[in-house]
């Protein structure tokens, strides 16, 4: 009997566990299914990227002599709507006896996989996904008996485990674990950025763009211009480009934002890592080599490695530790509906307009835009965590639930009550002003604390602290701000409340 190897859209790695012991007689099954493309209404570029990357991956396997049963969206239309249905048909078609697959990155899909043996009546092997450096068991073990699950401590264990940026004596390179303090500089006025490479469109991508334009035309976001790697070769080229050209500047200005500069020194690699075209280890190893060869400074390389072996692995660990149920958490009882400008970008708050417009154009925003502009607003405005999760999951090309959810529920909204973040990442306009040039182009005045012209972040910040006093006051890391709030005059507090009420009324009318 035949063995089917079922490969999901974010498993485009030749060294995938379920492709490791391939025989010539095996059939690799991949499918573009309506359910995955529509369970949230993904950004057009995200669907186009993934379909094109999947088609290229399948074609490369075929060139190497493997048999791939690839279901294209056009051909599946109206028939196979889910992974499970597509698999059942493939098992029948090939008279298969056994299915081998790698465990899905998302809980929702793993549950499907666990039902496949029953659904198909054949043996189904689900292999652990060792593209992640920490196994789910290791993370659970690390988390067990700890009062606080701080990323920084997990990260140190990962440094020891991988050996990245460790010296011969087993100490962290340069004597410190973390160089973040050096990575918070605003950009100098005359900063310049390296030119990004162009990735030309081939027929496969052209076909996919036509398909997505026709079938997902009403989804969020601009489909074109499309300029992103879709093959392993292009992905590797982009990684090498990043290490040579952008990595040296990655550290120092990691938290900076600049109008009209969507990428700056960021790697723009997350979507490639998450779908399997790049291996997270090779990304770290190339970056480390650049440091060892004197081509990139330690603060940049350590920062980059920390994002990948620290934050990325930690978020995945938290996700599996807390699922199911993590998506329902709402510790601050936030209930407000998402504002319209999340879809249109049309708001006079320039930081949000820039960040959301870039998101619409590119299916990308860099970390500080996601965290300190959009995320900070969602937190201060008390937006419903479910709606915020859905937004982040569908607008970004790199978004999968395992990484989106802990970033939204834990990092930006504090909806998990402090598992991921030791305190809410709340900030007033002054932070955005320090780290960007957005405020200079804004209708609102970042220096004004109250009144119609005042930057909304300024009074929403205090309003947030007032409204959530009961939940947050006892957090010792909030002691200083609640101390300040305690000294505020009744007049000032009334002004904050009054401005916030006016703002929320205007928000409902889409007039902010």
The residue ranges that bind ligand FAD (CB under 6 A) are: 266-270, 273-274, 304, 307-308, 311-312, 315, 366-367, 370-371, 375, 392, 396, 398-399, 403-404, 407-408, 411-412
Instruction: Note whether 58 binds ligand SF4 by CB under 6 A.
Output: no
Distance CA 387, CA 405 (A): 11
Q: Which DSSP string do the residues of 434-484 spell out, in sequence order? A: HH-S-GGG-SSBTT--SSTTB-HHHHHHHHHHHHTHHHHTT-GGGHHHHHH
266 binds, among ligand DLZ, ligand FAD, ligand SF4, none (CB under 5 to 8 A by kind): ligand FAD
Residues 302 to 341 in contact with ligand SF4, rule: CB under 6 A: none
10 Å Cβ neighbour count for 105?
23
Tell me the window of 26-34, 146-154, 277-285, 478-486 that interacts with ligand DLZ (CB under 6 A): 26-34
Distance CA 256, CA 277 (A): 28
Angle at 441 between CA 438 and CA 446, to 5 degrees: 70
CB of 144 to ligand FAD, least distance (A): 22
Residues in the chain: 512
Among 19, 358, 429, 512, binds ligand SF4 (CB under 6 A): 429
* CB closer to ligand DLZ, 29 vs 412: 29
* Pick from 371, 387, 374: nearest CA to 336: 387
Stretch 341-360: interaction string toward ligand SF4, x if CB under 6 A: --------xxx---------
Distance CA 463, CA 410 (A): 21
DSSP 8-state assignment for residue 187: P
Phi, psi dihedral angles at 68 (to 5 degrees): -120, 125
Collect all residues with Cβ–Cβ distance below 8 Å to 225 and sequence separation of at least 6.
none
Instruction: Note whether 10 binds ligand DLZ by CB under 6 A.
Output: yes
DSSP 8-state assignment for residue 296: S
* CB closer to ligand DLZ, 394 vs 472: 394
404 binds, among ligand DLZ, ligand SF4, ligand FAD, none (CB under 5 to 8 A by kind): ligand FAD
Among 106, 288, 404, 433, binds ligand SF4 (CB under 6 A): 433
Instruction: Note whether 9 binds ligand DLZ by CB under 6 A.
Output: yes
In the chain, the N- to C-terminal Cα span, in Å, equals: 63
Instruction: Note whether 403 binds ligand DLZ by CB under 6 A.
Output: no
- Whether the CB-CB separation of 125 and 3 falls below 8 Å is answered with no
The residues of the shown chain that bind ligand DLZ, judged by CB under 6 A, are 8-10, 31-33, 36-37, 42, 47, 50, 104-106, 109, 400
The residues of the shown chain that bind ligand SF4, judged by CB under 6 A, are 349-351, 429, 432-433, 438-439, 442, 444, 446, 455-457
């Amino acid at each position: 009997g035949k063995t089917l190897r079922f490969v999901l859209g974010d498993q485009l790695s030749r060294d995938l566990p379920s492709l490791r012991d391939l025989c010539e007689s095996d059939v690799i099954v991949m499918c573009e299914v309506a359910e995955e493309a529509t369970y949230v209404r993904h950004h057009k570029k995200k669907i186009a990227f993934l379909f094109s990357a999947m088609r290229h991956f399948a074609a490369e396997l075929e060139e190497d002599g493997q048999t791939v049963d690839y279901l294209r969206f056009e051909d599946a239309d109206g028939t196979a709507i889910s992974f499970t249905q597509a698999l059942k048909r493939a098992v029948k078609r090939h008279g298969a006896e056994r299915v081998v697959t790698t465990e899905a990155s998302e809980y929702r899909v793993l549950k499907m996989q666990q039902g496949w043996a029953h659904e198909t009546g054949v043996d189904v092997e689900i292999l652990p996904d060792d593209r992640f450096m920490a196994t789910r068991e290791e993370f659970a073990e690390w988390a067990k008996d700890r009062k606080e699950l701080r990323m920084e401590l997990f990260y140190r264990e990962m440094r020891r485990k991988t050996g990245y940026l460790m010296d011969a004596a087993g100490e962290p390179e340069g004597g410190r674990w973390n160089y973040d303090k050096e990575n918070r500089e605003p950009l100098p006025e005359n900063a310049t950025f390296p030119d990004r490479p162009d990735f030309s469109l081939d027929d496969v991508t052209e076909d996919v763009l036509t398909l997505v334009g026709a079938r997902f035309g009403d989804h969020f976001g601009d489909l074109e211009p499309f300029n992103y790697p879709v093959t392993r070769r292009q992905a590797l080229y982009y990684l090498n480009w990043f290490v040579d050209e952008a990595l040296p500047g990655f550290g120092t200005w990691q938290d900076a934002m600049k109008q009209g500069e969507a990428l700056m020194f960021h790697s723009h690699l997350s979507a490639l890592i998450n779908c399997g075209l790049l291996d997270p280890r090779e990304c770290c190893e190339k970056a480390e080599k650049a440091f060892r060869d004197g081509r990139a400074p330690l603060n940049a390389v350590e920062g980059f490695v920390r994002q990948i072996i620290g934050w990325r692995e930690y978020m995945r660990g938290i996700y599996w530790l807390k699922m199911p149920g993590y998506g329902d958490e709402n510790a601050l009882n936030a209930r407000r509906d998402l504002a319209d400008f999340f879809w249109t970008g049309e708001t006079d708050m320039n930081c949000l307009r820039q960040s959301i417009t870039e998101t619409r154009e590119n299916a990308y925003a860099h970390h500080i835009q996601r965290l300190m502009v959009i995320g900070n607003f969602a937190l201060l405005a008390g937006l419903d965590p479910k709606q915020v999760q859905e937004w982040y999951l569908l607008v970004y090309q790199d978004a999968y639930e395992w990484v989106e959810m802990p970033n939204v529920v834990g990092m930006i909204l504090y909806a998990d009550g402090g598992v991921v973040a030791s305190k809410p990442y709340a900030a007033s306009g002054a932070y955005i002003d320090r780290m960007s040039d957005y405020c200079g182009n804004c209708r609102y005045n970042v220096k004004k604390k109250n009144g119609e012209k005042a930057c909304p972040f300024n009074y929403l910040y205090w309003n947030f602290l007032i409204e959530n006093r009961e939940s947050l006051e006892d957090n010792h890391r909030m002691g200083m701000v609640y101390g300040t709030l305690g000294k505020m005059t009744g007049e000032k507090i009334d002004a904050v409340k009054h401005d916030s009420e006016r703002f929320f009324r205007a928000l409902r009318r889409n007039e902010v």
